Amino acid sequence: MPRAISIESAVLPALSRSALAAALAALLAVGVVHISVQPASALSEIKREEIPQPSDTPAQPSDDQSIEKKSLPPLNQVPSPDSTTTAPGLGEPDKAGPGKSEPDQSQPDEADPGGEGPPDSARLAIDPNAPIPEIVYDLGKLPEPVRRLHDRIMEATKSGDIEKLRPLLEPGESGTQLSFGAIEGDPIDYLKELSGDKEGAEILAILEDVLSAGFVHMDAGTPNDMYVWPYFFAVPLEKLTPAQKVELFRIVTSGDYDEMKTYGTYIFYRVGITPEGRWSFFVAGD
């Protein structure tokens, strides 16, 4: 007899497979729909660890985008805005140019003259503590060349003609000194200009008075060996005796004397003659 098959046993297995497949499909559909419609979260609801953190290591530029690195100066060396220093290229152009150093603009030291030049015999720095040199009135004690020139100058002064001094004056730069500065032009014309009468008579009178006073022999045996008139040139004014002051006032006035006291020494006209009989100077002043 054929075996009877119930509807449940035949239908349920097929139904179970169909139902399972349908149910799985339905679940998948529901899941997809649920995911697609999930609302977006607010920024405050995003967990902090989900926010991408910036990398501590900056991205390295490519070779063609490389940037030249330059070191900045230390903070304590950055010039202030009011600084007078101007960097080359920002203010005045770099005058030295590339590869050249700016020349030193400091003033050069004054050249060392290598010591003092020959002493000026017409100027005398008197040492108040030094002994007073011998004052001489006797012209016979002069060397013959000195005595001869002295007498010739005195003859010229007594003549009243200043031109007679011309052959007695030493020419050239090393000649007879008539001033502490340079003299332009003719020396006789210069002496006339010094004279109050502009003809030279006053200068001749002064020269005669100077050579009539006593003299001193200065720096004997040295390159500055000199016979000097009047002797006041080598004597401090405060050490002059009353009689010597009378001699002094034959040459200068009382006003001249008061002015010279501020210097402490005689600064009026004086005459210097070398032992060889050369007229070295005839000057006034200091």
**What's the rounded Cα separation, in Å, for the pair 207 and 39?**
130
Q: Which among 213, 283, 202 has a CA at the least distance from the CA of 246?
A: 213
| Cα of 156 vs its chain's centroid, Å | 52
Q: Which tokens sit at 124?
A: 């005398």
Per-residue confidence in pLDDT tens, the chain, 286 aa: 444 444 444 444 444 555 555 555 554 454 444 444 344 444 333 333 344 444 444 455 445 444 454 454 444 444 444 444 444 433 444 444 444 344 344 333 333 333 333 345 666 666 667 788 999 999 999 999 999 999 999 999 999 999 999 999 998 888 999 998 888 889 999 999 999 998 999 999 999 999 999 999 999 999 999 999 999 999 999 999 999 999 999 999 999 999 999 988 999 999 999 999 999 999 998 7
In the β-sheet with 279-283, what is the strand arrangement from edge to edge?
Answer: 216-218, 226-229, 270-273, 279-283
Cβ–Cβ < 8 Å for 162, 203? yes
Residue 279, φ and ψ in degrees, nearest 5: -75, 110
Q: Which tokens sit at 262?
A: 């501020």
Taken in order 207, 212, 217, 222, the sign of the CA dihedral is positive
